[in-house]
Structure 1
C-alpha cells in the first residue's frame, strides 16, 4: 500500500495554534481560580449575614413573638430575606404559627437545602425557646455570581490570547518564515555540478547573529563541500578506471592460477579416495602413480617421500617418482637420504624452498650436489613416533612459483596419512593373525585348543564323507597325572604336559594331522585319510617315545611318565546309514574314549583300538 506524504504546515500556523491552546488553558485556569474566589466570598458574606441576624434580628423577633405582633415579625423576616445571599426564611413559632419570607416558588422548602437554623429565645424565661428560624442559602445567586466571574475571565483571556496569537503570527512570518523560505529555495537548488546563486537573506539590520544565520552559514559550507566532492569524484573515477583495468588483468592471472589449483586439488581428492580403498599389495604402485600426477603440476623436478619410523632409525626414501632428463641422481627406494639434505627437524610441520645452491647451507649444498640437484623444496612433519618428508628435487634453479605452502602441506598430509593408515593396516593384520593363532592354540602347550579342534573335526568329517576316505581319531591321556601333580607340583606338571605336547607335535607332523589339547591331561589327534592300522602304528610310536623320555614318576608302577591311548576310525562305506557329520564324528570320538578307558582298565601304558 502506497503511504501518503505528510501534510505541509507552516511554522507560523503551528506556533499560532499552540499559542491559542496555551491561552485557552491559561483562561480555564484563571476562570477556575476566580470562581473559587467568588464562591468562598459569597459563603463568607452569607455567614456574616447570619451572624448579624443572630445578633440583632433574633432579639427583635423574640420580643415581637412574646408581644404577639405578627406584622412586626413578618417585617423582620422580609428584612432578612432581602439579602441577596438568602433565598427563603421560615419561622416556626412554638404556638404552631409559621411565618415565611422569600420567593413564592421557594415556599415548598427542601429540608436538605443548604442553610442554617436558629433558635428564638424567650425574653421572659431564659433557657426556653419561642420557636425556630430557618434561613436557606440562595444557590441561584451563587451560580449567577460564578457564571459572571467565569464569563469575565474568559472574555478577557480570549481577547488577550487572540491579540497575542495575531502578533506572534506576524512576528514569526517576518522574522522566521521569510528567511527560512529563502534558505529552503537555496537548499533545493543545491546539486552536484550545479552552482546556485549566492544566499543573501533579506532581514532587518541587527547587531547580533542568531540561529538562522548559523543555518545559512551551514548551507554555504555545504555548497563548498559539494563543489569539492564533485572535483574529488572526478579524480577518483579516473583512478578507479585505471585500477579496474589493473584488477581485470590480475583477475585473469588469478583465474588461471585457481584453475591450476583446482586441477591440483582434484588430483588430491581422487588420490585420497583411491588410497581409502587400495589393497596393501597395490599401495606402493598407487603411491608412485600419485607422485607422478603431482609432478605434472610442479614441472621439471623429481618427487619422493621419505620416512623415519623412530628416532633410532635413519630417514629412508620410501616412494620415488623420477623422470629422466632432469639431471638428478637416481633416488633408490629404501636408501638413506644424504646427510644434511633435510637437517634437524622440530616437532610439527616444516617447509623449505631453496631456489639455488647459493641459498642452501653448506651441508645442504653438498648433499644436493651429491644428488645432482640445484634446487630443492620439501614439506615435513615430525610426530612423536615418526617423521615423514615430501621432497621435490630439480637439476636446474627453480623459482618454485607453482608451490603454495598450504597446498603443499595439504598434499603431504594426504600422503602421510595414507602411509600411517597403511602402517596401521599392516599392524592390525599382524595382530589379527596373532589373535587368530591365539584363539586356535592352547596357551600352555602350543597345540590346537578345543575350539579349533571342534571346527576342524567337522570340516575333516565332511571331507571324509564327501571323498569316501577314512578319518582316524587318537585319544591320549597321561597315566596317574593327578598323583604326579600332587607329588611334583603343578609347575612340574605343566612342564610335563609341554614335553608330551612336543612329542605329539613331532609324531603327528604331516599335513592335515591335528594334535590338540582338550583340557587337563587329555589330548586328541585327528588323522585324515589314515586307516585304523596306520593310526595304531603312530599311536604305538608315541607311547614308546613317552616311556623312552623316562620322566620320573614315583607314583606310577613304571616309575616314569606313561600314556594310555584309545583309537577309533570313521570308515566310509556305501552301506553306512545316513547321519550328519556332527553325529558321525561324535560317534568316533566316543568310540576312541571307550577304547582309552579300556586301556586304562587293562593296566595303562598301552594302545587300545576301539
Structure 2
C-alpha cells in the first residue's frame, strides 16, 4: 500500500539537521566565548581600578590635600590615557571638577573611587569616577568572537563532513539499498534475497540486524507464501471435492427421488391388480429394481416353519441358473440367522452377491441380488436394497393374502351356489345358469331341455323313517344326478325339499325323454325301502319339457317362465297319473297357452 505522504530522503534530512546543529553549536560557542571574553575584560578592568586605587589615588590624595591643580590634572590625564579607560572625572568636595578623556555617549561611570584625607578624617576629599572603554571592549569581543566563530565554523564543518560521510556510508547508503529493495518488491511474488548492505566487517550493528530481520521476514514470507499456496491448493482440492460431493449427492438425491417415485407408482399399481397378475407384475418390478440398483440377477426365496426353501420369483439380465442353484444351496447351510428380524449378508462364494433376509419361527424370506459389476454396493444402495427387500416381502405376503382371499371367495361362491346337503347347485345358482343358457340358446338357436323331479311320498318317508333317513335318501338321489349329468353344460340342482331339477342345454326331445326315463329307472333300481309307498321302494316322478330354440321375440324372462310352468305342469301330470313315471311336453308358441286346452302340445306318460 503506497502512502500519500511526500518522500523526504534521509540524507537531505541528515544534512539539514547536521547543518542546523552545527550552526547552533557555532552560535553557542561564539556566545560562550564572548561571555568569557567579557568576563576577562571585566576582571582586567577591576584589576585596573585596583591599580588606580593603589598607585594613583595616593598621588591624587596628596595633590588634593596640597591643592595642586596642575598635578591633579596631570594625574587625571595619565589615568585617562590608560587603554581600558575612556574618561576620568574627579569631583572634589570643594566643588573642583577635573575631567580627562572622551565623555561622548557616556552616561554613568563604571567605577568610583573614594579619596580620603591623609589624616584619616571623616570626610572624603574627592571622588574619582572612571568610565570604561566600552567601544574597545566591543571591538575586542567582536574580533575575538569572529575569530572564534571562524575557528568553530571550520572545526564544525570538518566534524559534520566526517559525520556525514560516516553516516552516509554506514546508514544512508544501506538504507537507500533497503529502500530500493523494498521498492522493487512485487505483490504476490516471492521476494529475492537482500544484497549485502556494506563490505564484510568483524562486527554487527543495527543495520545488520535490520538486514537480518529482512532476511528473516523474507523467509517467513516465503514460508507463509508456501503455506498460502498449499492452502490455496488444498482449498482448490476441497472445492473440487465439494463440487464432486455435491454432484454425487445431487445425483444420489435424484436417484433416490426417482427410486421413491418408481416405488410409489409400483405400490399404486398393486392396488389395482388381481391375484393372477401378481407373478408378472412382481417379475417386472424385479427387472426395474435391477435397473435402478445396477443388478444383473434377482431371486426371491421363502419358506414356512421348518420346511425347505422354495424359489418364488427369479429375474436374470442374462440367464445364470448355476448361480441360482448355488444361492439356493447356501440358504440351507448351517450358521444361518437365528435371531428374528432382518439381516443384510454378503456372499463369500460369489462376489457382489447380497442377501436381504428375514427370519422368524413361522416363516423365512430371502431376497438375493447380484451386482452387475460383481462389486460391493455403496452404502446408500444397500439401504435402498434392504428397503426393497422388505417391500418385496410385503408384496409376497400381499400376494398370499390375495390368493387366500380368492380361495375364500371361491369357497364362498361355491357355498353360495351349492346345496349344503346334497352338493348340487342350489336354487340361486340354478336360476343364474338357467338364464345364461336360455340367452345362449336364443343367440345360437339351439334346443334346451328341462327336467323337474320330485320324490314320491317323501313326507310319508320322513314320518316313517325320520328326517335323518330322509336326508340320506335325498343324498342318494343327488348322487344319481351327479353320476348321470356331469357334462359341462348340464346342471342338476336341488330346488328345495324333495324337489330337483336338471337343465339340459343342446338336448333334443328324444334325448331329454331318455335321460328322464333312465333317471327314474336308476332311482327305482336303488331299492330304497319305503313302506309308505305302494311300490315299497323310493320312486320319483319326472316332468320333462323341451324347446327347439327357434327364434322368438319374447324376452328371456318370459321364455324361462314358460319353460318352468311347462315343466311343473308335466310333473303334476306324472304325479296325477300314479307317480313313478315321466311325462313330457314340448313348449308351444307364445300365446298358445292362453287358449284353453292348448297348453300341452303333446304328452307322453
TM-score, length-normalised on structure 1? 0.51
Q: Distance in 2 between matches of 1:515 and 1:467?
A: 22
Counterpart in the other structure of 1:458:
435
531-540 or 265-274, larger mean C-alpha shift: 265-274
- Aligned partner (choices 540, 548, 551) of residue 525 of structure 2: 548
Does structure 2 conserve the Cα–Cα contact (< 8 Å) formed by 1:272 and 1:414?
no
Does 2:582 match 1:590?
A: no
Q: Which runs of 5+ in 2 are unaligned?
A: 1-226, 586-605
CA distance in structure 2 between the aligned counterparts of 1:532 and 1:500, rounded to whole angstroms: 23
Secondary structure of the structure 2 residue equivalent to 1:448: coil
Candidates 311, 329, 334, aligned match of 1:317: 311
Within a 5 Å distance, the mapping from 1:6-17 to structure 2 comes to: none
Please tell me whether Structure 1 or Structure 2 has the larger radius of gyration of its CA atoms.
2
- Report SS of the residue matched to 1:414: helix
Query: How does 1:128-139 map onto structure 2 within 5 Å?
Result: none
> What is the correspondence of 1:326-341 to structure 2 with a 5 Å cutoff?
329-331=322-324, 337-340=330-333
Q: C-alpha separation between the residues in 2 aligned to 1:451 and 1:349?
A: 50
SS of alignment partner, residue 346 of structure 1: coil
Q: Which of 470, 476, 495 lines up with 2:447 in the alignment?
A: 470
- Residue matched to 2:470: 493
DSSP 3-state at the match of 2:339: coil
Once residues 388 and 264 of structure 1 are traced to their aligned partners in structure 2, the CA distance between those partners, rounded to angstroms, is 25
- Cα shift at 1:473: 1.6
Deviation at 1:518, TM superposition (A): 0.4
Q: 1:603 aligns with which of 557, 563, 578?
A: 578
The answer as to whether partners of 1:267 and 1:293 remain within 8 angstroms in 2 is: no
- Are the structure 2 counterparts of residues 307 and 518 from structure 1 closer, same or farther at C-alpha, using a change threshold of 3 Å? same
Counterpart check, 1:344 vs 2:321: no
1:543 is displaced (CA, Å) by: 0.5
Equivalent position SS for 2:516: helix
Asked if the contact 2:305–2:361 (Cα under 8 Å) also holds between the matched residues in 1, the reply is: no
Q: Is the 8 A contact 2:294 2:371 kept in 1?
A: no
Across the aligned residues of Structure 1 and Structure 2, the Cα RMSD in angstroms comes to: 3.6
- Structure 1 CA distance, aligned partners of 2:352 and 2:333? 15
Displacement of 1:482: 1.4
Number of the residue aligned with 2:387? 410
The answer to whether the aligner puts 1:561 opposite 2:538 as a matched pair is: yes
CA distance in 1, matches of 2:382, 2:428: 56
Query: SS of 2:322's equivalent?
Result: coil
C-alpha change, 1:588 and 1:291, in structure 2 (3 Å) is closer
1:23-48 CA-partner distances (Å, limit 9, x unpaired):
xxxxxxxxxxxxxxxxxxxxxxxxxx
Whole-angstrom distance in 1 between the partners of 2:510 and 2:289: 69
Who is 2:457 aligned against? 480
Residue 124 of structure 2 aligns with which residue?
none
SS in 2 for 1:506: helix
Residue of structure 2 aligned with 1:253, choices 245, 248, 272 = 245
Pair 1:341–1:603, CA change in 2 (3 A)? same
Give the distance between the partners of 1:418 and 1:253, measured in 2 at CA: 35
CA offsets per residue over residues 447-503 of structure 1, 9 Å max, x none?
Answer: 111111111222222333344333222110011111212222222211211111111
The residue aligned with 2:116 is none
1:307 aligns with 2:302: yes
**Distance (Å, rounded) in 1 between the aligned partners of 2:449 and 2:373:** 75
Asked if the contact 2:309–2:332 (Cα under 8 Å) also holds between the matched residues in 1, the reply is no
Q: CA deviation at 1:420?
A: 1.9
Q: Which residue of 2 aligns with 1:134?
A: none
Q: CA deviation at 1:282?
A: 5.2
Q: Partner of 1:28 in structure 2? A: none
Which residues of structure 1 form unaligned runs of 5+?
1-234, 358-367
Where 1:603 maps in the other structure, the secondary structure is: coil
| Residue matched to 2:262 | 270
Partner of 1:91: none
TM-superposition CA deviations, 1:245-294 (whole Å, max 9, x none) = 64762463254145135325524532552452556555444434443444
Distance in 1 between the 2:335 and 2:258 partners?
29
Q: Secondary structure at the match of 2:301?
A: strand
Structure 2 CA distance for partners of 1:571 and 1:594, relative to 1, 3 Å: same
**Quick check: 1:353–1:400 contact (8 Å CA) kept in 2?**
no
Distance 1:406 1:303 in 2: 16
Q: TM-score, normalised by structure 2?
A: 0.52
Q: Deviations over 1:81-118 (max 9, x none)?
A: xxxxxxxxxxxxxxxxxxxxxxxxxxxxxxxxxxxxxx
Distance in 2, matches of 1:553 and 1:285, equals 59
Query: Is the counterpart of residue 524 in structure 1 residue 501 in structure 2?
Result: yes
Q: C-alpha deviations, 1:200-248, integer Å up to 9, x for none?
A: xxxxxxxxxxxxxxxxxxxxxxxxxxxxxxxxxxx9xx99997896476
1:105-116 equivalent positions in 2, closer than 5 A: none
Aligned equivalents of 2:505, 2:297: Cα separation in 1: 58
Structure 2 residue 425 is the aligned partner of structure 1 residue 430:
no
8 Å CA contact retained: 1:472, 1:568: yes
Deviation (angstroms), 1:605: 1.0
Quote how far apart the aligned CAs of 1:306 are: 1.7
